[in-house]
Amino acid sequence: MYNVRRTSGRDLRGTPTRAPGSMGKGIRMNGGGIIKTDHLSIRAFIIAVAIAWTLIILASLAWNIRQVRKNTLQEAAIQAEVAHEKDIIYRRWNTMHGGVYVRVTEKSRPNPYLTVPERDVETTSGQKLTLINPAYMTRQASEIAGPDFGGMLHITSLNPLRPQNAPDKWERGALASFEAGARKISSVDFIDGREYMRLMHPLLVVEGCLRCHAAQGYRAGDIRGGISVAVPMAPFRVIERQHIITLSLAHGLLWLLGLLGHFFGTRELVHSDRERRQAEGSTRRYARQLEESNRLKDLFIDIMRHDLLNPTGVIKCYVSYLLEEETDPRKRDMAAKIDLVNNRLTEMIQNASKYSRLEEMEEIECSREDLNRIVRESVLLVDCGSDETGIRVDYLAEGEYPATVNTMIGDVFVNLTSNAMKYAAAGKRVEIGIEDDGPNWKVYVKDFGPGISDDDKEKIFTRFERLQKEGVQGTGLGLAIARRVVDLHEGRIWVEDNPEGGCIFFVSLPKEGPGHSS
């Protein structure tokens, strides 16, 4: 036995079933299917995105401003290094020549702190000269350049010969760091209220320095003091402010464009959310209506199956009694017509109820059966009246045709055989057989009647569509029921023209059944 689970609909006995939490076929509320979304969450999402975008822009701006300020300090430090290196080159040149002699002027007076032989000399022409040592030359060059051009240079020491060379607070801290092993000190500091990048390197004693400073007890390689350079930050700050303004404008424009894009994008989102909420409201109303319709349909089917079939059964009994007992030909004819109409009504109720049950089924319970036996027994149910109609039924299938099916498949072959005998009576012959079609068994019902037009070949499998033929009664549901049963078996039913005249109905069914192996 192969069991196939049904999720909703009616079982084979017609009992209504429902999947838990369902509101009707394919509709679920709250437990799945329709999900309610609070409109406030959309607004919260829009605000959250705008805030997140603003924070991203502010973070980017802050990081870029930090980088600009860092670059400003680096550029000022580089210029201070250049000024220091330039001073070192001048000092080395002066030291290499043991100092240089210049004319004595108001600005180049003899250095009272320079106590060396021949500090002052006179040329043969009477021109007086004085010796300029490296420190004196550096000081004069710095005074000529001025603080706004090349920065301020200051030679200082914790033990200066010249009082003006005494260190200030910042220089004293740098000199103490040199004594502790530091090789360079730099930072931003204020001098007389103005901002400077200050740099100091230690001043090492070389052989040329001992001529003037040996008396202080220095030896070559000792730290005699330091050369302090102060570069004004004002020009760098001007460039820095320009860069920050440019960055701020660029980030502001980017922020504005982002918000505009977000605004127009979320307008569409809000519009879509409004439409979605309206659609959800319509869906909920539709679900309620569908639930009510399903309830009414179930009620109607139950009424048809019980309340309507019972009266037809009673009518059938009384009509049968009248046909047996009544001798008046006119009354017997009226009773026969009542019996015919009552049979048609019974068939209509049964087919409508059966079709409704099949429509709600999604899967069926199947077992291994001999398809040949099912088809043969179905044909025998119809063929018992063939002697009266004069139609010959040729059944050509032999042997066993195993398939995994539900026995309701027999109703399909009853319907096809019955239709062939009703609609193709003029052909006087019906042929039925089973063919091997690879993974499927293909059952065919062939008649030799007038046939079916191409326009009707598909229509006849839909509800309430049947061929309009004089003298043929029916509800128009038989082939629709047949197709639904075949679909539940994952098979196929169709009709083709019979080359010999008439038509051939085919039913193709998987040998192993729907979704199962043998």
- Residue-wise pLDDT tens digits, 355-390: 666 666 777 888 899 999 999 998 988 876 555 667
Neighbour tally for 228: CB within 10 Å: 25
What is the token pair recorded at 500? 């010999």
The overall average pLDDT reported for the chain is 78
Percent of the chain with pLDDT over 70: 76
pLDDT at 344: 67
Q: Is the pLDDT of residue 507 over 90?
A: yes
Q: Is the pLDDT of residue 206 over 70?
A: no
Strands laid side by side in the 100-103 sheet: 100-103, 128-132, 120-122
pLDDT grade for 109, boundaries at 50, 70 and 90: confident
How many residues are listed for the chain in this entry? 518
Residue in the structure block whose two tokens are 């001999």: 370
How far are the Cα atoms of 222, 343, 362 from residue 357, in angstroms, in the given order?
110, 21, 10
pLDDT at 131: 84
User: Worst-scoring range by mean pLDDT, 179-188, 217-226, 269-278?
Assistant: 217-226
What is the token pair recorded at 45? 């999402």
Q: Which amino acid is at 380?
A: L
pLDDT grade for 3, boundaries at 50, 70 and 90: very low
Q: How far apart are CA 198 and CA 73, in angstroms?
A: 11
Q: How far apart are CA 462 and CA 459, in angstroms?
A: 6
Phi/psi at 120 (5° precision): -120, 135
pLDDT at 150: 55
Pick the closest to residue 384 from 351, 413, 407, 418 (CA basis).
418
Percent of the chain with pLDDT over 90: 25
Residue in the structure block whose two tokens are 């319970």: 365
- Residue-wise pLDDT tens digits, 325-338: 888 888 888 888 88
Residue in the structure block whose two tokens are 């063939």: 386
Q: Is the pLDDT of residue 254 over 50?
A: yes
Per-residue DSSP letter, 29: B
pLDDT at 471: 41
Q: Is the pLDDT of residue 494 over 90?
A: yes
Q: Is the pLDDT of residue 57 over 90?
A: yes
Instruction: List residues bridging with 370 in a β-sheet.
Output: 402
Boundaries of CATH 3.30.450 in the chain?
A: 133-232
Most confident residue range from 285-289, 321-325, 432-436? 432-436
Buried b (16+ CB within 10 A) or exposed e, 74-92: ebbbebbbebbebbeeebe
pLDDT grade for 15, boundaries at 50, 70 and 90: very low
Between 456 and 307, residue with greater pLDDT: 456
The model carries a pTM of: 0.44
pLDDT at 64: 95
pLDDT at 215: 54
Q: Is the pLDDT of residue 4 over 90?
A: no
In this prediction, residues 244-252 reach a mean pLDDT of 94
User: Worst-scoring range by mean pLDDT, 257-261, 300-304, 433-437, 484-488?
Assistant: 300-304
Contact assessment for residue 134 and residue 205, using Cβ atoms and an 8 Å cutoff: no
3-state secondary structure of 116: coil
Cα radius of gyration (the chain): 56
What is the CATH code of the structural domain delimited by 362-510?
Answer: 3.30.565.10
- Residue-wise pLDDT tens digits, 141-182: 777 766 555 568 888 888 777 788 889 899 889 888 888 888
Contact assessment for residue 94 and residue 134, using Cβ atoms and an 8 Å cutoff: yes
Residue ranges in 303-408 assigned as alpha helix (H): 309-325, 329-360, 371-383, 386-389
Angle, helix 309-325 to helix 329-360, in steps of 10 degrees? 160
Neighbour tally for 59: CB within 10 Å: 10
Fold category of 133-232 in CATH = Beta-Lactamase (3.30.450)
Pick the closest to residue 157 from 171, 142, 140, 137 (CA basis).
171
Boundaries of CATH 3.30.565.10 in the chain?
A: 362-510
Instruction: List residues bridging with 436 in a β-sheet.
Output: 441
pLDDT at 120: 84
